Structure 1
Amino acid sequence: MSQTIDTPPAGEQPATTDATGSATAPYDVVIVGAGVTGMYQLLLLRRRGLRVRVVEGGGDVGGTWYWNRYPGARLDSESFTYQYAFDEELLAEWDWAEMFAGQPELLRYFNRVADKHDLRRDIQFGFTVQRLVFDEERNLWEVHERGGEILHATYVIAATGVLSALNFPDIPGLETFEGEWHHTGAWPHEEVALEGKKVVVIGTGATGIQVISEVGKVAEHLTVFQRTPNWAIPLRNRPLSAQEMAEIRADYPALFPRLQRTFSGFMHEADPTTSTSVPREERLAHYEDLYQRPGFAKWQGVYHDVATDETANREYGEFLAGKIRDRVDDPEVAAQLIPTDHLFGTKRVPCETNYFETYNRPNVELVSLKTSPILEYTPRGVRTPDGEIEADVIIIATGFEAFTGALNRIEIRGVDGLLLREKWEYGPLTYMGVQVADFPNFFIMGGPHGKGGHGNSPRCSEKVVEWMADFAAWLVEHDVRRVEADPRAEKEWSEWVYEIASHSLMATANTYVYGDNIPGRPRAYLAYSGSLPDFVQKLHDSRDAGWSGFVLTR
């Protein structure tokens, strides 16, 4: 497949027929989403000569970093690990300003990638997918835009992201609020004035922790509503000097293969030492050393049994609880900020900068949603059992419907009109996280039960996207009109994913990887608890065995 085929212009593209009268499509592939994964998938498919189109609901590239512009939005993976590894020229020229890049720098980076590789010519922005319908007679997908436009493609690849479907708390009356309100996951492009304002923030997850630290500095009064405290750890961000960047750049040839061998694409790996094999004083000294290091060293770099043994975990949790008590002046507030309902690492661990110190400010108040729930929004703010709290601005930092949310909110119909969200009513079923039985020619990058976006996103998606590009090119070259997950392979994979997850400490917590943050949703494991190298190997094993687990129709 060496010939490059120009993609047709945007607009409604009716399916056509070839010389034999068989149905064809103007696009080999339509990719849904122009974030980190979708951009790389586009480039690889284009290089392999496929006719490809990306549709994106936003106004530009960047995905997460296009939408999440709230104050404090920042990486908790080291910047230089969170970039594309394929472009040596860009690696040589791009200097990261900080150890952990903020949203503006990240968006500039992804715009630079799009400019350098002329990606926008194959991306249709402002295209919000409302329906995906599989035409069984012609083996084509109809891609329906909310405004009525329709594209046709032989294959569809969903690169919709793990955290992109906004979750709103079930609180009535938001439409009555006369002030300004924003969800952190859809922050406006223009600056939101918070200085001297009365601000309410709902949520203290990873996003809430970032935004609270910034808003507390400038608001006249900040009221934080917390449902569940989190085991947050210091980020310890700092600028990167020219000398440091030169040293980091010199290590790139070894860095990226090394990251590919880690459990989730991060720099830090678990200490192979069992915590109980060293004296307590030595353990505490080790925890103190980790605590002073940047980023996820305090999560990914602890003794390996902290993630598997409850006793070891509780000792480390008590060490971190002591740090919270040291940093928060009011003992009662400190107690509210120490988790008691879940073990360390059983939920995503947020990184923070002076988060706990924010509660030492006289203008900041912490309110527990368990003892003082928000009953309703009012024209002037929010009402709780204790009365009304006035607000000029309400910030909703309640996260996302993770892994399946973006797909479930699209009407995706496969064989016999089967609706994907109905098939997944009691939990997702997939084969290797990339395909679903009864949904032919439909692939998922970074969805449930796969490693594609679960961890350090570019590192976890890189090899999966490359595998997908090879598979798609092979399918087109061999005139495979229909490819679908074997139901038996899907059943075995899904049962295996659920089984290994049930034995981890994570199964003891209420967390978004089980869908527990969505009221009324059946509890089902949504992520993938295996390692990145093992997952990539399983993809390669399928390829080497002639795409085992997939049913191919030529």
Structure 2
Amino acid sequence: MSSNNTASRDVVVVGAGFAGLYTTIHARRAGLNVLGIEAGSDVGGTWYWNRYPGARCDVESIDYSYSFDEDLQQQWRWSERYATQPEILRYLSHVADRFDVRRDYRFDTKVAGARWDEDAQVWHISTSAGDTVTARWLVMATGSLSQPNLPDLPGRDSFAGAVYLTANWPAEGVDFTGLRVGVVGTGSSGVQSIPLIADQAAELTVFQRSANYSVPAYNRPLADEEWQQVLEEYPRRRKESWNSAAGSPWGSYSVPYENLAPEEREQVLAESWTRGGVLYGKAFERQTIDTEINDAARVYFERRLRNIVRDEDLARDLTPTDHPIGTKRICTDSGYFETYTRPNVHLVNLRRDPITAITPGGVQTESGFHALDAIVYATGFDALTGALTAIDIIGRHGRTVRDAWKDGAQTYLGIGVPGFPNLLTLNGPGSPSVLSNMALGSEQQGSYALRLILHAAEHGYSSVEARSDAAAAWTAHLGEVAGKTLFADAPSWYAGANIPGKPRTFMPYLGGFHTYTARLDEVAGNGYPGFVFSEN
């Protein structure tokens, strides 16, 4: 399309992950003229870009899927308990085929900027293709974890070897056979990729700033009998998920911690451990609220770790000390701690021995030099806000989202941003987002955005904007809810702690998926108080 060509749409949806696909499919079903814009060459969102070795979802695959179409739910067959990235990508491609959604998308296209036109009550959206699209509504389904974070290390760009980012992995894969490899970062992508990189590399050096809690996935193939049972139980399982705190059917043990004998508590922790990964974080009610309960879960973790890593100094370096267990996302691994017992794997504790420079030949720390052929940055994302502040989204009075959020993100219900009419954000700050099952969360978010759009159309409104006082109150509520938990004590990416200079505010809604959904339904049922509706 030429640079002077302008297309007009009812809705532009940015992103083709779970939220973007759902919203685009249902916008078309509602009779809206919709256009999707996606930077990748195909659908998938986060799962298109995150192709690193071992990439796997930490929500069970049978739950990490759409619930809106019964035929889709019954006909797609998951092969494993925790699906790998290729299988999740195949699933999303299957969804795109089934609902013919690609015809509504422009791929290999980035949104360069967006400007609100007050007179016309539309957004003018410029793209990397050099054209402009006008739309009444701009829906940002850009994902909670989609803006990669590459640390600004001295000499970083001088390295002469190969450099990889787990958040933007080559589609063709990487062969590390015989190479000296350094991995910087031990968050989820590091924990998942390190065992597989160690299988290939001649030498693997892991540079760890913060040790993380990780629990084995206990992954397994789904046998035909188990799968048949899943299909039969889907109605109950989905109902439980929609009425849960995190969008999955798993809850905490029914008997309170204080009512159990020590051996019973141990049994609950052991059973929860075998559920795998993040599910260990909810063995007991109040586990991320009550310090005594949290300490019990921590001590059990440390004992399991030392059963694997017998070297006391190494075990101590691998033991988290900067946050209560579960207040940073517990990683889900396959042989992570076992990897450090291999002779070709070395751990550098950056708190004791920080990086002073990246050089053409490797990494210099205070204590010595590490010669490397390749560096992998498993350094995560500018979470929740990064994908939005990276784009020049200009609202009223020429103010950008970046400017509006310079002291911390403020949204109303995680959906509306004051000063930015007809801009709706999905799975961003102010919503449960990463604290819930993102598949069901994306359905919930996309559905609510479309309810708001259709409500405005039905009543003849040309724009909808979140009130500043409503956004301030909702954002304060996020902090109040988090402040009653141990999450407030953790330097996590939930609060922007991994990005230098980013305001430290707890961004997700911690009050629970079901509670949040009920709140949105209440607001809709009362005519959307907290939003201002305008006529052109």
Q: Give, in whole Å, the separation in 2 of the partners of 1:464 and 1:387.
A: 49
- Are 1:438 and 2:419 an aligned pair? yes
Does 1:120 pair with 2:102?
Answer: yes
TM-score (norm 1): 0.94
Q: Distance in 1 between matches of 2:2 and 2:462?
A: 23
User: Contact 2:175–2:200 (CA<8 Å) still a contact in 1?
Assistant: no
Q: Is contact 2:277–2:330 with CA below 8 Å preserved after alignment? A: no
Name the residue aligned to 2:153.
171
**Contact kept? 1:268, 1:296, Cα under 8 Å:** no
- Picking from 339, 357, 377, the partner of 1:396 is 377
Q: Distance in 1 between matches of 2:462 and 2:488?
A: 40
Alignment of 1:456-467 (within 5 A): 456-467=437-448
- The alpha-carbon deviation at position 33 of structure 1 amounts to 0.6
Residue of structure 2 in register with 1:196 after alignment: 178
Alignment partner, residue 471 of structure 2: 490
Which residue number corresponds to residue 46 of structure 1?
28
Distance 1:295-1:249 versus aligned 2 partners, 3 A rule: farther
Q: Which residue of 2 aligns with 1:512?
A: 493
2:454 maps to a residue whose letter is A
Structure 2 contact 144–383 (Cα < 8 Å) conserved: yes
Cα distance in structure 1, aligned partners of 2:534 and 2:502: 36
Match of 2:273 in 1: 291
Q: 1:14 matched to which residue of 2?
A: 6
Query: 3-state SS of the aligned residue for 1:365?
Result: strand
**CA-to-aligned-CA distance 1:171-215 (integer Å, 9 cap, x gap):** 032322121111100001112111221110000111110011211
CA distance in 2 between counterparts of 1:295 and 1:419 reads 38
Contact 2:22 2:442 in 1 (8 A): no
1:413 aligns with 2:405: no
C-alpha displacement of 1:289:
2.2
Deviation of the 1:512 alpha carbon: 0.5
Q: Is the 8 A contact 1:451 1:461 kept in 2?
A: no
Could you tell me which runs of 5 or more consecutive residues in structure 1 were left unpaired when the two chains were aligned: 1-8, 16-25
Cα drift, residue 361 of structure 1: 0.3
Distance 2:456 2:100 in 1: 25
Q: Unaligned 5+ residue runs, structure 2?
A: none
* Cα distance, 1:274 vs structure 2: 2.5
Partner of 1:523: 504
In structure 2, the partner of 1:141 is 123
CA contact (8 A) 2:149 2:381 kept: yes
Aligned length: 535
462-471 vs 439-448, which moves further = 462-471
Determine what percentage of the aligned residue pairs are the same residue: 38
For residues 362 and 471 of structure 2, what CA distance do their matches in structure 1 show? 48
Amino acid at match of 2:491: N
Alpha-carbon deviation of 1:345? Answer: 0.8
User: Separation in 1 of the partners of 2:55 and 2:215?
Assistant: 16
Select 2:297's aligned residue among 316, 321, 344: 316
Residues 217-243 of structure 1: per-residue CA shift (max 9 Å, x gap) = 221000000011111111100111111
Amino acid at match of 1:446: N
Counterpart of 2:439, as a letter, is P
**Cα distance in 1 for residues equivalent to 2:529 and 2:254:** 35
Instruction: Report the 3-state secondary structure (helix = DSSP H, G, I; strand = E; otherwise coil) of the residue aligned with 1:79.
Output: coil
Q: How has the CA–CA distance of structure 1 residues 38 and 10 changed in structure 2, closer, same or farther, with 3 Å as cutoff?
A: farther
The 8 Å contact of residues 203 and 226 in structure 1, kept in 2 or not, is answered as yes
2:237 to 241, 255, 263: 255
Return closer, same or farther for 1:265/1:281 CA change in 2, 3 Å cut-off: same
Counterpart of 1:251 in structure 2: which amino acid?
A: E
Matching of residues 305-344 of structure 1 within 5 Å: 305-344=286-325
Q: Is the contact made by 1:454 and 1:460 (CA closer than 8 Å) also made in structure 2?
A: no
2-structure distance, mates of 1:50, 1:195: 51
Q: Which of 465, 477, 481 is the aligned partner of 1:500?
A: 481
Over aligned residues, Cα RMSD in angstroms?
Answer: 1.5
Seen in structure 2, the aligned counterparts of structure 1 residues 229 and 261 have a Cα distance that, compared at 3 Å, is same
In 1, distance between residues paired with 2:224 and 2:468? 54
* Aligned residues of 1:227 and 1:368 also touching (Cα < 8 A): yes
Further displaced range: 268-277 or 253-262: 268-277
Q: Cα distance 1:114–1:199, how it changes in 2: closer, same or farther (>3 A)?
A: same
- Match of 2:36, SS state, is strand
Q: Distance in 2 between matches of 1:512 and 1:180?
A: 27
CA apart distance, 1:522: 2.3
